[in-house]
Structure 1
Amino acid sequence: MIKQPAHIENIPAYKPGKSTVDGWDGPVYKLSSNENPYPPLPSVIQAITDAASTMHRYPNMAAPVLTAALAQRLGVKESELAFGTGSVEVAGQLIRAFAGHGDEVMYAWRSFEAYPILVRGAGATPVEVPLTADHRHDLPAMIAAITPATKLIFICTPNNPTGTAVGHEELRAFLAQVPPHILVVIDEAYVHFQNDPDAARGLELYREFPNVAVLHTFSKAYGLAALRLGYTVARPEVMEGLAKVALPFGVTDIAQAAGVASLLAEPELQARIDVLLEERAKLEAYLATTDWDAPASQANFVWLAAGEETDALQAHLMSRGIIGRAFSGTGIRISVGSPEANEALVEALGSYNRG
């Protein structure tokens, strides 16, 4: 009988968010995956349509047009960019390239639920450092948790699923204490929704600290979730490792074309982001009138630390067509959706009886 190796056997499979609600015949609002609620811009759709005509050919792995456009946009060298099928896949590349059996990969917990899957899949050991009582990274505790086996540290900011952001100066002080042989990955999948001037700015820290890499994605703010396009900004020695483990031809020409078109359409996309930020502010203003433990968010979602009420609250929201992302016993992450979706969410929360 074929048997899974020990480091794979105990990995929990990733569970995607639900998209349907049984027994509910009203509008359904899928607020479980932090998706952009707006459809692609016409210019992006046109770029996708044009690129589809060559889908019988393998894509250009170098992604030259996208690389040039993004390097100019970020103010980095083209050689400092590497792409993958979403930032989660690039995170997996980083782990596979720089950690293995006997190595440790550290991250806050709760944080992005793919981290333990990626770490265990590489045969490495996950080190989960609990968040503080106010749902933020406990950076002093993370420093204390460093051992000779530590190879990578992930800092997810804004943090998924709590939405809290690490402060720029506190992260800078943290990086100054991390041994230079440890790669620190600043995962900024939600950075486009960040409007706190004191929040960490990953690219600035990347330029200051040689052992820092930064992750970004086109899935969220740019609305290209289904095309799977993410990237890292990193030093040459990191790029050398990524080149050895990257999936060949993983980023399609269609995704590359959509990325270029999205960069050209950033003013239009920013207008949509601004609307989502306004909607987030409305949700947070409502939550401030309740007794829910809901930390201020710098992402395109809010976090309700519902604890033991999580499952009951999730069932109540589902019964009213609201699909959130529940983490049993901990809380529910709810994406900022369209105005109609957010109004339905407020109504559903208002009708929940906490007993």
Structure 2
Amino acid sequence: MVEPLPHVRDIPPYVPGKPAVPQPGLTTFKLSSNENPYPPLPGVLATAQQAAEAMNRYPDMGCVALYDALATRLGVGTDELAAGTGSVALIYHLLSAYCGIGDEVVHAWRSFEAYPIAITAAGATGVKVPVTADGRHDLSAMAAAITDRTRAVLLCTPNNPTGPALGHAEVATFVAGVPDDVLVVVDEAYLEFVRMADPVDGLALLRGHPNVVLLRTFSKAYGLAGLRVGYAVATPEVAGALRAVALPFGVSSVAQAAAVASLAHEEDLMARVDALVEERDRLVAGITDAGWTVPEPQGNFVWFDLGERTADLAATFGDAGLAVRPFAGEGLRISVGEPEATDRLVALLRTTPPA
């Protein structure tokens, strides 16, 4: 029998958010995957449909139109960009290009579920640094965890699933103390939802530190989760390495076209993001009024630290037609969705004691 490499057996499974189970007489809501609840903008949809008419042809492997649009939008060179099937693909590309057996990758925990998977798949060892009691990265502890075996540090801001975001000053101080031969990966999948003083300016960090890599996506704010397109911004050398290890023709023609169209319709899309942020604020106000507390959310989701109550609360929400994302024995992540979903969630919390 042919066996996979030993470390492949150790790869933890990725657990996706599940759809809501139909409930008689109830409209159900999927709040388990941090998706944008709004449908595609008409202009973006029309562009994607037109691109689909040429699905008999391979996509542009060089992502020329997408890189040109992103370069214009961000003020970077096209050689500083690398695209992938969502920002999660860029994590895999990065770790496969820079890490191997015996190398270490430092990251916060609990944080993005894909980090341990991608680290293990690369043959490297993950060094998990616990988040603080309020769900924030402990940057001092993360700095102390860096050794001569460390090849990369992953910063998730806002942190998925706990919610808080890092400030620019604290990240700048952290990056300045990281050795130049260690990559600092700033995962900004929820960048557009941040509303805080001193938000991270990833491009400024990159300009000052060539070991910084930014990861961004069209899945969340731009609502293209089903098309899978994300990108990295890095030095030409790092971006080139990411493109070198990427699966050929990975980002589809439809995804590329929709992403370019989304940048052209960015003002309308960001109006939707503003509406989601307002709904997030309304949700947090309702949660607080119901007697519960959650870490400061800066993404499009909130986090309930529930420990052993997690499964029971997930079942309660599911019975009410609300699909949420449980992390067994830890807590629940609940996406910001439609106003009716917010109303139903808050009503349930009012009848459920927080402890």
Q: State the partner residue of 1:129.
A: 129
Q: State the shift of 1:111 in Å.
A: 0.3
Q: State the partner residue of 1:192.
A: 192
Q: Deviations over 1:189-247 (max 9, x none)?
A: 00000011322221221111111010000000000000000000011221232132101
Is 137-146 or 303-312 further displaced after alignment?
303-312
CA distance in 2, matches of 1:140, 1:159: 16
Q: Taking structure 1 as reference, are residues 47 and 22 closer, same or farther at Cα in structure 2, changes over 3 Å only?
A: closer
Q: State the shift of 1:290 in Å.
A: 3.9
Q: State the shift of 1:304 in Å.
A: 1.0
Q: State the partner residue of 2:284.
A: 284
Q: State the partner residue of 1:58.
A: 58
Kept in 1: contact 2:290–2:346 (CA 8 A): no
Structure 2 residues without counterparts, runs of 5 or longer: none
Q: State the partner residue of 1:44.
A: 44
CA distance in 1, matches of 2:264, 2:205: 26
Q: State the partner residue of 1:324.
A: 324
- Answering whether residue 219 of structure 2 is matched by residue 219 of structure 1, we say yes
Q: State the partner residue of 1:247.
A: 247
Q: State the shift of 1:106 in Å.
A: 1.1
Amino acid at match of 1:311: A
CA distance in 2, matches of 1:172, 1:197: 15
CA distance in 1, matches of 2:12, 2:300: 26
CA distance in 1, matches of 2:287, 2:23: 28
User: RMSD in angstroms over aligned alpha carbons?
Assistant: 1.3
Q: Taking structure 1 as reference, are residues 156 and 354 closer, same or farther at Cα in structure 2, changes over 3 Å only?
A: closer
Q: State the shift of 1:24 in Å.
A: 5.2
Q: State the shift of 1:23 in Å.
A: 5.8
Q: Deviations over 1:290-336 (max 9, x none)?
A: 44340111100111111222111111111111111111121111000
Q: State the partner residue of 2:232.
A: 232
Q: State the shift of 1:120 in Å.
A: 0.2
- Answering whether residue 347 of structure 2 is matched by residue 347 of structure 1, we say yes
Kept in 1: contact 2:232–2:239 (CA 8 A): no
Which residues of 2 match residues 27-176 of structure 1 at below 5 A?
27-176=27-176
CA distance in 2, matches of 1:296, 1:139: 17
Amino acid at match of 1:269: L
Q: How many residues align?
A: 355
Is 226-235 or 342-351 further displaced after alignment?
342-351
Kept in 2: contact 1:293–1:306 (CA 8 A): no
CA distance in 2, matches of 1:169, 1:274: 25
Q: Taking structure 1 as reference, are residues 133 and 353 closer, same or farther at Cα in structure 2, changes over 3 Å only?
A: closer
Q: State the shift of 1:146 in Å.
A: 0.4
SS at match of 1:237: helix
Kept in 2: contact 1:293–1:305 (CA 8 A): no
For normalisation by structure 2, the TM-score amounts to: 0.97
Q: State the shift of 1:352 in Å.
A: 2.2
Kept in 2: contact 1:31–1:335 (CA 8 A): yes
Q: Taking structure 1 as reference, are residues 79 and 316 closer, same or farther at Cα in structure 2, changes over 3 Å only?
A: same
Structure 1 residues without counterparts, runs of 5 or longer: none
CA distance in 1, matches of 2:59, 2:177: 41
Kept in 2: contact 1:306–1:332 (CA 8 A): yes
SS at match of 2:333: strand
For normalisation by structure 1, the TM-score amounts to: 0.97
CA distance in 2, matches of 1:339, 1:7: 44
Q: State the shift of 1:354 in Å.
A: 5.1
SS at match of 2:289: coil
CA distance in 1, matches of 2:331, 2:317: 13
Kept in 2: contact 1:205–1:212 (CA 8 A): yes
State, as a whole percentage, how many aligned pairs show the same letter: 54
Kept in 2: contact 1:79–1:236 (CA 8 A): yes
Q: Deviations over 1:112-147 (max 9, x none)?
A: 000000000111111110001111000000010001
Kept in 1: contact 2:14–2:114 (CA 8 A): yes
CA distance in 1, matches of 2:95, 2:230: 15
Amino acid at match of 2:166: V
Q: State the shift of 1:256 in Å.
A: 0.7
SS at match of 1:95: helix
SS at match of 2:303: strand
CA distance in 2, matches of 1:354, 1:229: 38
Kept in 1: contact 2:181–2:211 (CA 8 A): yes
SS at match of 1:288: helix
Kept in 2: contact 1:163–1:298 (CA 8 A): yes
Q: State the partner residue of 2:337.
A: 337
Q: Deviations over 1:32-76 (max 9, x none)?
A: 000000000110111011111211111111111111111111111
